[in-house]
Amino acid sequence: MGALLSRAFAAVYDPMMGGVERAVLASVRRSLLRAASGRVLEVGAGTGSNLVHYAALAAEVVAAAADNDNGAAAAAADGAAPADGGSPAIAAAPAAAGGTGRPPPPFTRLVLVEPSPLMRRQLHAKLDALAATAPALAAAVEVADAALPHLPYPDGAFDTVILFLVLCSVPNVAAAVGEVRRMLAPGGRVLLVEHLPAHAATAPVVAAWQARLAGLWAAVAGGCQLRRETVAALAAGGLDVGGVTEQSWSGIDWGADLFLTRVAVGEAHTDEREGMAPTRSKKFTIMASSSGVHQWPFSASFVAGCAGSKSSSPAVASPAGAAIPR
């Protein structure tokens, strides 16, 4: 039965998430992945939904480098010194990569980890399709069969770790966070999108259904836990979550309401990023649109409480001022 459910989940995953991707998730992926650079590890890469975004961002780097080169050539023809423009990553890039004459994309290594063979099959299909439009990137992507909390990479091996809807399904979230932090280089970042449990005070109907369906949902959705406070686990594991915001993606469809009424989006960092204590709060403007997306910062008491907790799934208070329109 478990194998049959796994096969069914892998088969319906992309169609099931299609509405969410079109409404909000695709734009969130693209925005967050702009911060990915250097040695990048995506954990739980699933069917490869981020591949098109990696390719688009790499193309932007190439286009920016070409513009920079054209500007330098024009300045040289005019007898002027080239402008000191462009991003640091482009300025530091070698003149050629792999004999193509182009600078490399912002990634020096790109590893996609996915334990499900059925998901990996779809990922490889997308990678093969990508080879037609982004051959250099497609050829450089490494795909591995592995899962948290035991990944076959040394300490400090990655500058960026990407966690998009993955910590909800790991068996031991505290161990998983510890493994992520182990693999991060000093100053490294975690880019994350993780769903959180609905608050009974602000979304009582959704919270009640989550409690009712938690066991069934886990069985049919690859072990996904509807009631897991993943930001609390990240903070308890020693990561700075001051760059993480809480959003509501309600109103897209009934399925999204069930598990995306509260969503954590943003960057977490190793404490070594600035040699300072983790950030306790961050101001954000509430954003409301027809897609039903709203966001606010995690309150100081929420983050401080998470950082001080040693439990893998601590109980935390509702973010201050948060009100999810229902």
Give the pLDDT band of residue 13 (cuts 50, 70, 90). Answer: confident
* pLDDT confidence tier of residue 218, bands split at 50, 70 and 90: confident
Q: Does residue 300 contact residue 280 with C-beta atoms inside 8 Å?
A: yes
Give the span between the Cα atoms of 11 and 5, in whole angstroms. 10
5 or 302: whose pLDDT is higher?
5
On whether the pTM is more than 0.85, the answer is no
For position 239, what pLDDT does the model report?
A: 94
User: Tell me: the pLDDT tens digits for 41-90?
Assistant: 999 999 999 999 999 998 898 888 777 766 656 666 666 544 444 433 33
- What domains appear along the chain, each with residue ranges and CATH number? 2-82+108-308 (3.40.50.150)
Give mean pLDDT, residues 248-262: 85
